[in-house]
Structure 1
Amino acid sequence: MYRDKDLALLARPLHAFLTVAPKPGRWPAPRPVWYELAGDGTLQLFSFAEAPKVQRLREEPRASLVVAAPTGEPEHWVSTEGHVTIHEDGASELAARLADRYYDMSDPAKQKLVAEWSGFSLVRIVIHPEVVNRYAG
């Protein structure tokens, strides 16, 4: 499903934009998120269990995730659409891996922030790719 150039982009610590089905009367509103490409081709992210996006995903378990190369690089983006599963297991471990990927964990302020996450109920959101679109200029 993913091409080699897609995998190279998805392997980088870039922000992705997650879009879930909106509440009635609202427009879709993508949110920046951290993500991980799993060995099985799924995309994983974590969230606080009580976050509005998690509630929407429980009601309508589908989402899209878009990752784009940063400004200054040739245009390249990958958009993944698919159904979503929500898991209680593995969320804390994923959060720790992503913190290592996206933060400088030698920074005491970042260490404190990540430690505070343990006081919250986290879930692991898994997007199972059904449609992948891309552009590489």
Structure 2
Amino acid sequence: MDLMNPDDLEFLRRPLHGFLTVSTGEPRPVWFEAAADGTIQLFTEPDALKVRRARRDPRASIVVAAPVGERERWVSVSGRVSLEPDGAHDLAARLAARYWDLDDPARAADLKAILATDQVRLVIHPETVRRYAY
């Protein structure tokens, strides 16, 4: 938690997309949650490429940038990643409510489909946090 300041956490709690890189893979846009303990949490299917990469080399980073139209700002978090078998469905439900209008029947169905599949949580334990604001 000491690595992130309150401004970082406020920024990371907005419904922004992050760009996740696991080990030597290419960045992928993801939903994420900045947890109260300062970790960054994501959910994914257990056989996803990012999970296989994390098992081989448990390093990951995420970069989150402000959208066009706002002043330039980004936060980058990197560190060890752990794969957690519990809590992924709860996280998925929280993030779906954050990113989607769940009153939309199509989005509600999308969430139902996610919750019907096996999911794991990827948790980034920050070792380095960098930021820029202009």
TM-score (norm 1): 0.93
Tell me the residue number matched to 1:18. Answer: 20
TM-score (norm 2): 0.95
What amino acid is the match of 2:61?
Answer: S
Tell me the residue number matched to 1:68. Answer: 65
1:125 to 105, 122, 133: 122
Alpha-carbon separation, structure 2, partners of 1:121 and 1:18: 20
Q: CA RMSD in A?
A: 0.9
Tell me the SS of whatever aligns to 2:11: helix
Q: CA deviation at 1:7?
A: 1.7
Does the Cα contact within 8 Å between 2:92 and 2:115 map onto a contact in 1?
A: no
What amino acid is the match of 2:76?
Answer: S
Does the Cα contact within 8 Å between 2:85 and 2:120 map onto a contact in 1?
A: yes
Tell me the SS of whatever aligns to 1:101: helix
Unaligned runs of 5+ in 2: none
Alpha-carbon separation, structure 2, partners of 1:3 and 1:20: 24
Tell me the residue number matched to 2:10. Answer: 8
What amino acid is the match of 2:99?
Answer: Y
Provide the aligned length of Structure 1 versus Structure 2: 132
What amino acid is the match of 2:19?
Answer: F
Alpha-carbon separation, structure 2, partners of 1:114 and 1:79: 28
1:108 to 83, 94, 105: 105
Structure 1 stretches of at least 4 aligned residues deviating more than 3 Å after TM superposition: none
Q: CA deviation at 1:96?
A: 0.4
What amino acid is the match of 2:8?
Answer: D
What amino acid is the match of 1:54?
Answer: V
Listed as ranges, the matches of 1:20-99 within 5 Å are 20-22=22-24, 28-99=25-96
Alpha-carbon separation, structure 2, partners of 1:7 and 1:136: 14
Cα-to-partner distance string for 1:35-59 (whole Å, 9 max, x where unaligned): 0010100000000111111111111
Tell me the SS of whatever aligns to 1:125: strand
2:132 to 126, 131, 135: 135
What amino acid is the match of 2:81?
Answer: V
